[in-house]
Amino acid sequence: MIFISLVLVVLLVLIDQAIKYFVITNIDLYETFYTLSINGHNLFSITHVRNNGAAWSIFAGKTILLTVIAVIAIILVLFLIASGRFKLKLEVVMLSFIMAGGIGNIIDRIKYKEVIDYIQTDFIDFPVFNFADICVVVGAIGFCVAYLIIESINNHKKRSVVMGALGDSPNEKNNDSEIDILTELSDVSDNDTESIKIDDSGEIEDEKS
């Protein structure tokens, strides 16, 4: 599974870097290349911007700090994938998304000292983001959902086992009691029964069978 995860990470990083290369080479800084509108209302636009901080430009100019934090997070995610702790494939896939998004933005910080952003939401005031950011968000939400699903399944199995054990106990006791009674009756029949005989003189003679 780790091989598939790494292949997925490489694929997502390549997609992220290809889009950013297109933006850099074809769209001037702060220029809008395309706008998606419905009934005259702008929804999204492709606008070339740069961000040397995190979301909402927090930690602006702290490129080294943000890079170190991202590297630590990626190493942690890679460790979780390699540990085999998560058995559900969806969990591993979502962790791969998180790692790919982190790597995509780290490459920007190393190459340009800032992140290339281009997806702008025109219908709401929200920071401009990129494909790598989408990977991180989708991965985080998907991982939480997958984890909750598997935990719910495990808890249901545990309750079923407990209820089954509680339901079987009285029956097992009854079965044991029935076996004991039958055993006692068998012993009485084999060892303690007496046969009654009448001899020629008409007297009753008790004889152990």
Kindly list the catalytic residues. 117, 133
Q: Terminus-to-terminus CA distance in the chain, angstroms?
A: 74
Helix (H) or strand (E) holding 19: helix 2-26
Nearest to 181 by CA among 170, 189, 171: 189
Q: Are the CB atoms for 81 and 2 separated by under 8 Å?
A: yes
Q: Are the CB atoms for 95 and 144 separated by under 8 Å?
A: no
Nearest to 31 by CA among 51, 50, 47: 47
Beta strand spans in 149-208 (E): 194-198, 204-208
Torsion, CA 103, CA 108, CA 109, CA 110, rounded to 10: 90
Which 8-state DSSP code applies to residue 177? H
Helix (H) or strand (E) holding 50: strand 41-51
Nearest to 65 by CA among 107, 106, 13, 9: 106
